[in-house]
Amino acid sequence: MKVLDVSAIKDGSVIDHIDSKSTLKVADILNIQNEEQVVLVGMNLTSKFLGKKGIIKIGGKIIDQKEVNKIALIAPNATVNIIKDYEVVKKFKVAVPEVIEGIVKCFNPNCVSNHHKIETKLHVVSKNPIRLQCHYCERIMNSKDIVLI
């Protein structure tokens, strides 16, 4: 039998291969404090690939595309596993989309998107390291400038 790092859930989502230091940020994106069912968070687990990784398991929840897009910005190596009846029924890597709408705030205080009621829009100019260019003011943000909405 396979031994799991963090114990099993019956149905839900597992976000694996999170860069360990970003685990709590991912937990924040997923708003775990509002979950009703079991939530398990693991940090500094050994990973062949990342050295140290984080895992988040959320019982009863299937995570949606918008959340996946946000996670991709913070933890570009993460894998999402959908669990049904204790089995992994679906597995995919998060992917940064070409355009990010309504997820990230523009860091330029003089940008029109921070003064008018419009959805923010950023073009991904580089995925690794992540660099985003505001559709409106054209300023380019690095990962340290990213503030999620």
Partner 1 sequence: MVSFKQRDIISIRHFNKEELLYILDLAKQMEQTARMDVLGGKVLASLFFEPSTRTRLSFESAMKRLGGTVIGFAESGITSIAKGESLSDSVRIIEGYCDIIVLRHYLEGSAQLAADVVDVPVINAGDGANQHPTQTFLDLYTILKTKGTLEGLTIGFLGDLKYGRTVHSLVYALSYFGAEMFFISPPSLRMPRDCVEELKDRKVKCHENESLFGISKKLDVIYCTRIQKERFADPVEFEKVRGIYRLSKTMLEEIGIKDDLKILHPLPRVDEMDESLDKTEFAVYFHQARNGVPVRKAILAAVLGVLE
Ligand X SMILES: Nc1ncnc2c1ncn2[C@@H]1O[C@H](COP(=O)(O)OP(=O)(O)OP(=O)(O)O)[C@@H](O)[C@H]1O
Interaction site with Zn ion (CB under 5 A) = 106, 108, 111, 134, 136-137
Q: Using CB under 8 A, which residues numbered 20 to 79 contact partner 1?
A: none
**At which residue do the structure tokens 């260019």 appear?**
133
Minimum distance, C-beta of residue 25 to partner 1, in the bound complex (Å): 24
**Residue 127 binds to partner 1 (criterion: CB under 8 A):** no
**Residue 124 binds to partner 1 (criterion: CB under 8 A):** no
Distance CA 58, CA 38 (A): 6
Distance CA 12, CA 38 (A): 9
Which of ligand X, partner 1, Zn ion, none is residue 118 near (CB under 5 to 8 Å by kind)?
Answer: partner 1
Minimum distance, C-beta of residue 118 to ligand X, in the bound complex (Å): 38
**Residue 129 binds to ligand X (criterion: CB under 6 A):** no
Whether the bond between 129 and the residue before it is cis, its omega within 30 degrees of 0, is yes
Binding flags for partner 1, 74-113, as an x/- string (CB under 8 A): --------------------------------x-x-xxxx
Distance CA 69, CA 30 (A): 11
Please give the full DSSP string across 39-79, using - where no structure is assigned. EEEEEEEEETTTEEEEEEEEET----HHHHHHHHHH-TT-E
Of 47 and 69, the one with the shorter C-beta distance to ligand X is 47
Strands 140-142 and 51-59: what pairing? unpaired
Residues that bind ligand X (CB under 6 A): 4-5, 8-9, 14, 16, 55, 57, 79, 81, 83, 86, 88, 91
